[in-house]
Amino acid sequence: MILSINLRSQPGQPGVTRFAAVALSAAAITLSCQLALAQRYTAANSDPDSPEGQFIELIEQSENAQKLALMEQFTQRFPKSLALSWAYEQIQTAAMQAGQWDKALVFGEKLEQLHPDDVETAQLNIKAAESKGDKTTAKLWSDYVQRIAQRVLESPPPKDPEMLEEWKRRTAIASQYAAQDEYAIYKKALDSGDPRQKIKLLDELLRRNPDTQYLSQALVIYLNSYRALGDSKNSLLYAERILRSDQHNEDALLIAAEAYARSGSPERVVAYSSRLIDLMRTKSKPAIVRQEDWDRKKAFYTGSAYWMIGNVHINQNRFTQADSALRAALPLLRQNEQSEASVLFYLGWANYKMENFNEAVRFYKQCMAFRGQFQEQAAKNLNVIRTEQGIQ
């Protein structure tokens, strides 16, 4: 009696790769988070005849080398002055230009306490922390800027026309920062070689903005990451989520079919595999993908779909249908030895059950040329056929 090996899962294959390149928004590409060093606060509200007004006049008339020290004295002597924001901004800007990162952080934090939604000041704090190599502080300020951006973007436009212009300016800055911040997280996830790290980064991205412009690409990365970890449950979850909005995603179709093959859902395996075959027959090559890469992907995905359909028919003892599907898969899966060996083995089994003994012998002989799990059983099955039928 010939023994059959029942394999429900997809034959060995390279990891699925999303071939379509990410289309980046112009804002995310061009935004370099340049620091706004233009003056935003003024000393105009101070009474020029008051002691603080006279001190400000002294500062403005002083040489540049003296101004920084005088402004620090001003903040100490007049801690409740209406010009305090102006002084803090001037000190932080001067400290940044002089490379005095600690001082820039100290006065930047003071200014941020007066103006909690000041994105520019917080960005300078990030730059200062990065420049001194303080990753922890840089991360804290980066998170803070993200919260500022979110608050600004959620704030309604003011009715006062003068305040409206400032709101528009701050909203534009917040939008740019949010776009850059999202792209930075997405790019880290895309470039990471660790599936767990990819998932962690994408969780953070969606926590910040569930409707991020990178959502569709993120779902594909989730899909492939869970697949790489062997997590069939989450692989199927994300495959189905993608297919709800994109019926033409070949990666999701393949992984969904694989997941259903492992879970023992033959009708769904055939349905998803058939959809994948039809899709790869008609789908055009993405413009940025090389023709040889696209041809290789089409062959592998189509061959894998036929293999899964053939496997379903084998398990249901429909050997004529199995033979047809597996013959279609064979030339498409020659890029992977174990895939080819599995197809040859089951072609041998299907033809043995159909009493096409010469064909069964031919397929088993070819299967024996490949090292692996099918080689030994193919040899045993071949010996049985030779004994039973006298075929060499």
Q: Is the pLDDT of residue 10 over 70?
A: no
Q: CATH assignment of 35-330, given 3.40.50.300, 1.25.40.10, 1.20.910.10, 3.60.20.10?
A: 1.25.40.10
Contact present, 107 and 95 (Cβ < 8 Å): yes
Tokens of 99: 């490379």
Q: What angle do CA 125, 29, 244 make, to 5 degrees?
A: 110
What is the SS3 assignment for 165?
helix
Q: What is the pLDDT of residues 118-171, one digit of tens each?
A: 888 988 999 999 999 998 998 888 888 877 777 777 778 888 887 887 778 777
Alpha carbon separation from 142 to 78, 129, 201 (Å, rounded): 31, 10, 15
DSSP-derived letter for residue 157 is: P
pTM flag (> 0.75): no
Nearest to 178 by CA among 198, 156, 208, 200: 208
Tens digit of each residue's pLDDT (9 = 90 or more) over 16-49 = 333 232 332 323 322 233 334 457 888 877 778 8
Q: Which residue has the tokens 């028919």?
A: 313
Percent of the chain beyond pLDDT 70? 90
Residue 6 has pLDDT above 50, yes or no: no
Report whether pLDDT(207) > 90. Answer: no
User: What CA–CA distance (Å, rounded) separates 327 from 122?
Assistant: 64
CA distance 50 to 193: 63
**Binning pLDDT at 50, 70 and 90, where does residue 312 land?**
very high
How many percent of the chain have pLDDT more than 90? 45
Using the predicted structure, report yes or no on whether residue 222 has a pLDDT greater than 80. Answer: yes
pLDDT of residue 38: 57
CB neighbours of residue 233 within 10 Å? 9
- CA–CA gap between residue 384 and residue 391 (Å, rounded): 10
Decide if pLDDT at 104 tops 90: yes
